[in-house]
Amino acid sequence: MASHPIYQFRAELKDYRPKIWRRFQVMNNITMEKLAHVIMMLYEMKGYHLFSFDMERDKRMSERKIPAGLMHPPKFPADPVFPQNWHFEVIDEEWGEIFVGPNGYLFDAMQSKVKDVVSVPEDKMLFTYDFGDDWEIDVKLEKIIEDKETHGREFPRVLAGEGFGIMEDCGGVGGLHEIAKAFREKSGEKYEMYREWLGRDDLDMETFDVDRMNMMVKYVSRRHLWYCDDPSV
């Protein structure tokens, strides 16, 4: 049975229309790194690139406990005008210093639990994947569910969504729009270029298969045995 609360999130790719969004559930005690891998799978990301989470801490959050995984405190005292931000990445000391601003907290995503970062419905984070293409996804905690009947192995679980996802290394949202247009027209130089590059004749950017998505996230979670970070579940 699920020994920890279940978090329901809604994620939406920024600056793309028609909207590409997902609604999904995870156990609240997984790490931020594992949450990132769930989001990557839901958006057809291959995990070739770096990622980060950013959370702007407003007055409502000012009394919250600092999560585990803190690497560097802010360089200056809290500013009443500009809130202190929480920034999460997988930290490798060999990469050198990661700049998060003078008021930013830097955390190791592998050491920080989701439950310690977001804990109230409507809490929001920005997920960024591939710092070249800069895919940005708004992630909002919609609800917290106490469910003692459903086994922890049922999570992560995808509930709904719209839109296909992204294409790696296409140049970000602008490139994705260009690909979608080329496959709608199915003719011309750009269509032939993308058809050859992607190895496919058809692409419907508005398609979404919830069963396929669930199969993908279940496969990854089982393979890496991290559906829940509680060995008793």
Tokens representing residue 133 in the block: 């293409």
Domain range for 69 is: 6-164+209-224
- Say if 232 falls within a structural domain: no
Domain-embedded: residue 153 = yes
CA distances from 21 to 15, 54, 103, 130, 150 (A): 12, 19, 31, 18, 25
159 lies in the same domain as 174: no
Q: How many separate domains does the chain show?
A: 2
Residue pLDDT, tens place only, 16-73: 999 999 999 999 999 999 999 999 999 999 988 999 999 987 666 666 778 888 887 6
Task: Mark whether 137 and 87 lie in a shared domain.
Answer: yes
List, for residues 104-126, the tens digit of each pLDDT value: 788 999 999 999 999 999 999 99
Residues 124 and 189 grouped into a single domain: no
CA nearest neighbour of 35 among 7, 76, 68, 73: 7
Strand, coil or helix: 208: coil
Averaged pLDDT, 163-185: 95
Q: Is pLDDT larger for residue 103 or for residue 232?
A: 103
Residue 230 domain flag? no
Does residue 78 carry a pLDDT above 70? no
Kindly state the average pLDDT of the residues 74-103: 68
pLDDT, the chain, mean? 86
Assess whether 34 and 140 both reside in one domain: yes
Amino acid 3: pLDDT: 66
For residue 45, how far is the Cα from the chain centroid? 10
Judge if 137 and 191 occupy the same domain.
no
3-class DSSP state for residue 210? helix
* Same domain membership, residue 193 and residue 156: no
Kindly state whether residue 93 falls inside one of the protein's structural domains. Answer: yes
